[in-house]
Amino acid sequence: MPSGEYFTSYEERMGLIRWRIERVALVLGLPIPLIAPFVLTGELVSVFTLVFIFGIAVLGLHVMLSYAGEIVLAQGAFMAIGAYTASRVVNEAGLGLLPAMLIAGLMTASVATAFGLPAGRVKGSTSPSRRSHCSLSPSSSSSGAASSRSSTAAHSSRCPAKSGSSVTP
């Protein structure tokens, strides 16, 4: 990778594979999980399996932290729920790996939905720019009676809860 990043568009900057060396590493590294069981011993295959599992978790965390800008604390818990469910389905029910992965994915999705729906209903301003707009008093940004009235109207449209208006979202 070059020592300085120079992008001319937002799409180039946000691309998952931005450099030629990343493409080469992807092409060379993609067949490793398919070839490894035939070439390596069982212990090394187990180690590589763990490496790839944690690699998938890290890529998910990378997408959430760098592209979405969100800190996700529940990702490890959801990964653990899926792993526990898959191991129980394979060991207790005697099903194969693919049905276990499907059931584990559905179980994890249901738990994530059970936690996500109430969390999505939380109201409040989390954006710093919205808080700063709402914390300004309507008369502090302008002078004069006419501009004060227009400023009050603009403030009430931005921050209905503070202005006393009965606007409901």
pLDDT above 50: residue 145: no
Look-up: residue for tokens 């990778």? 1
Total-model pTM: 0.49
- pLDDT band, very low/low/confident/very high, at 130 (cuts 50, 70, 90): very low
- pLDDT band, very low/low/confident/very high, at 99 (cuts 50, 70, 90): very high
DSSP 8-class letter at 31: T
Look-up: residue for tokens 């301003």? 125
In a 10 Å sphere around its CB, with 0-12 CB exposed, 13-18 middle and 19+ buried, how is residue 7 labelled? Answer: exposed
pLDDT above 70: residue 1: no
> Phi-psi category of 144—alpha, beta or left, where left has phi over 0 and alpha has psi -120 to 50?
left
Distances (CA, A) of 45 to 16, 30, 59: 27, 15, 21
Describe the crossing of helices 75-88 and 97-120 by its angle, rounded to 10 degrees: 150
pLDDT above 50: residue 108: yes
Pair 72, 61: CB distance under 8 Å? yes
